[in-house]
Structure 1
Amino acid sequence: MAIEADFMREYRIDDSELARLSWRRFLVLLHGLSPEALYPQLVEKTPKQVDDTEAATIMSQA
């Protein structure tokens, strides 16, 4: 729902246009959302969990 609302607000893309987007175009628009959009804020607040200990080690060194 947040993505649909953000696309309507920021790009003026309605449900019918959204359904016709290619995956590439959808991802380009998704990554292009402003920081004020709801979706990026939700992603930022989502806890990140890493199960693989090697990946956790790499991430802790970054």
Structure 2
Amino acid sequence: MSDQYFKFIEFNPRRAMRGAEAARVEVDQDGEWLWMSKRDIKANMKDFGAHPELQKALDAYGAFA
């Protein structure tokens, strides 16, 4: 498992309805965050392993569907 930091912050359904990245994930302990798509999340899981916070972000997309 990598030492990469991830923290799921929120899921924005309005962004998802527009087809935009909708999962906001903190990627740095200094507070830097990114909007991520399902594809982004899966790519990070492939690179860094099945991090529980990435799984939460991916699950949020499933709850939206």
Same fold (TM over 0.5): no
* TM-score normalised by structure 1 residue count: 0.30
Q: Answer with 1 or 2: which has the greater Rg.
A: 1
**Greater per-residue strand proportion:** 2
Specify which structure has the higher proportion of helix: 1
